[in-house]
Structure 1
Amino acid sequence: METHPESTHARVRRWASTKDAAAHIDRHPEVLRRWHRERTEHQWLPMPRRVGKNLLWDLDELDAAIDGQVDQQGIR
């Protein structure tokens, strides 16, 4: 009988441009840019990764942050 070590599947990160990430959360790209610029007011927002001049957002982290804000504010 062959045994396999426990699988260590790494999470596949879903990266998106600011435009695509904003569409994913149903917001205008400028809203996401403003939230990023105003970090002190939006500390819950995950940090994007900068690639050249572009920001790339992890969609799973963004979803979790938005869900956390909804849960914190009691919005359903």
Structure 2
Amino acid sequence: MKRRKKIKYVHEGRYVAEVNVELMENESNWSPYLRVDDAYKLDDVRHALRPGDRALASPYGRIYELQPVAH
């Protein structure tokens, strides 16, 4: 079984979190897939960003705030 690191982006409202996860690769049809802990980590970040709680989401990775671009 091979493992590789990947950055996943979680977009919620006006925030985006950059979260490091590990993908597992094998010969199955489900490959590549996330570890269970990483899937929960992505859910935790999404739930923290939904009300805009950057402090709760920040231990998981970088947090970006999106702003509209004027035309």
**TM-score in same-fold range (> 0.5):** no
**Into which bin does the TM-score normalised by the smaller protein fall?**
0.3 to 0.5
- Return the structure number with greater helix share: 1
Question: Scaled by the length of structure 1, what TM-score is found?
Answer: 0.33
Which of the pair has more CA radius of gyration?
A: 1
Question: Scaled by the length of structure 2, what TM-score is found?
Answer: 0.34
